[in-house]
A = this chain, B = another copy of it.
Amino acid sequence: MLIGASIFDLSTPVPVIDEAVVAANIARVQAYMDAHGISFRPHIKTHKLPFLADAQVEAGARGINCQKISEAEVFADAGFEDILITFNILGPEKIAPLQALNARTRLSVVADSSETVAGLAAAFSAEAPLTVLVECDTGGGRCGVQSPEAALALAQEIAAAPGLRFGGLMTYPKPNSAETVEAFLGGAVALLDAAGVECPVVSNGGTPSLFDAHLVPSATEHRAGTYIYNDRSLIRAGHCDASQCAMHVLASVVSRPTENRAVLDAGSKALTSDLLGFEDHGMIVGYPDARIVGLSEEHAVVDLSGSAKKPAIGEKVRIIPNHTCVVSNLFDNVVFHRDGAVTRVAPVAARGRVW
């Protein structure tokens, strides 16, 4: 019923996503990967929408990347077959769903410890083995084995388990660290090779330094999510400009209590409080000097003291969020448009899939 309506007639707050920008972002990144012969595996965390993952695969992506079992279930239900879950999966509650998922998809997971490997090894058998990659901490400071030697040792534990297959190496690096990443991954590949352990995939990741993926020649695959929508953090990273940000959060000015204060109806329940190193909460399109200085759950407080242009009560404004992926997780539905005319209202199928 909304199809064809102007996005500016929507009830706010609501994420509005430009289909043309999405298509251009998919094409741009896939073309880069194709040009460099890198397999591309989009992370679905940004959109959480099977129809967009379809578009990514149709453009040439090799498979998809999920972070949790419950996300992968949504995409398996939608027909996706090649799914990598980049998470250490632990605990008896997760084994049955993992087995069920492995029985109906080409599933891979990651591990960074003997504990994780032992848990998986006990749950899978040679009849329906599970593919496990070794997660490597190449400087990202999150999960991952700490050295190429440790990667080899864990790969050998995986390869020795009858119910597991060693699937290769995986890292989520910090941005602008191609040299360090290559040193780690290249070193691990050499050790695996010397030990006679076949390494089918070396999977690198991230959007901020995506166009440096070719500077990690050991990697055969790249994973990225945010590039499909882009956001303020990726403008800062030099990955895109504002015109390449597909998602805006449409909000209304609900109060102008003082000359230099505006209040919007988009708070942390619409934007999240992710700062990603910024001191304020997103960019308002058309108001470059307005600053979203505070968020409560349903309100954004905007400081207009540096902005000669002041929005009026009732005016609808568009916000480029600091971080787009987390916005997708807050809304049951997101709205797609072309040139401001609604084309689709999409239920966010994998929203809230947290385990």
Contacts and interface: CB of A to CB of B under 8 A. Distances in A.
A45 interface: yes
Q: How many of these chains are in the complex?
A: 2
Contacts of A272: 268, 272-273
Contact of A265 (B87, B263, B273, B275): B87
B146 A257 contact: yes
Contacts of A314: 90-91, 115, 119
A26 to B, nearest CB: 21
How many A residues touch the partner, as a band? 35 or more
Prevailing SS type, chain A contact patch: loop
A332 interface: yes
A325 interface: yes
Interface string A20-40: 000000000000000000000
A255 B297 contact: no
Contact of A352 (B119, B141, B332, B355): B332
A270 interface: yes
Contacts of A91: 11-12, 252, 314
A296 interface: yes
A115 B313 contact: yes
